[in-house]
Amino acid sequence: MTLSPTVHFLFDTLYLWLEPTNTENQYKVTGRDPDLFYEYPSVVEFTTPDPINLPLPSRDYLALHAACAKVAHLSAAAEYLDSVFRDMEKMLVLSEDGSSAAVLEHAIWTAQRKPISV
């Protein structure tokens, strides 16, 4: 599934998820804070010109992502991720006592996922 960088960030950080509707390949756009994605449509429908080479996203995987996002939201894990993102943005150096390990871990994990131009 290809997403714009902004939508990818919201989707990847569990701010946004897609709830399956009763219509095949149609999903309700929802999430933790509707103010973050108000400019996006409330419902999306996936289509493809080539189902073999460009298959549609798995309904099961999108439902699993939605379930994980809801659990993260309800367990306050999402708030923890928010604090790590905030710390990563404002932190100039790592602490000597190791208390910034989560920030370093997230920064490394994020950097590994970015494509490298060659």
Does 116 have pLDDT greater than 60? no
**CA–CA distance, 42 with 28 (Å, rounded to integer):** 6
Exposure string for 41-54, b = 16+ CB within 10 A, e = fewer = eeeeeeeeeeeeee
Reported as a single tens digit per residue, the pLDDT across 11-34 is: 777 678 899 999 999 999 888 777
- Closest CA relative to residue 16, chosen from 72, 55, 75: 72
Angle of helix 59-74 relative to helix 77-90, nearest 10 degrees, comes to 80
Residues 6+ apart with CB under 8 A from 91: 100, 103
- Sign, Cα dihedral of 23, 10, 14, 52: positive
Do residues 69 and 14 touch, judged by C-beta distance below 8 A? Answer: yes
Q: List the end-to-end C-alpha distance of the chain, in Å, as a whole number.
A: 23
Reported as a single tens digit per residue, the pLDDT across 95-108 is: 777 777 777 776 77
pTM: 0.59
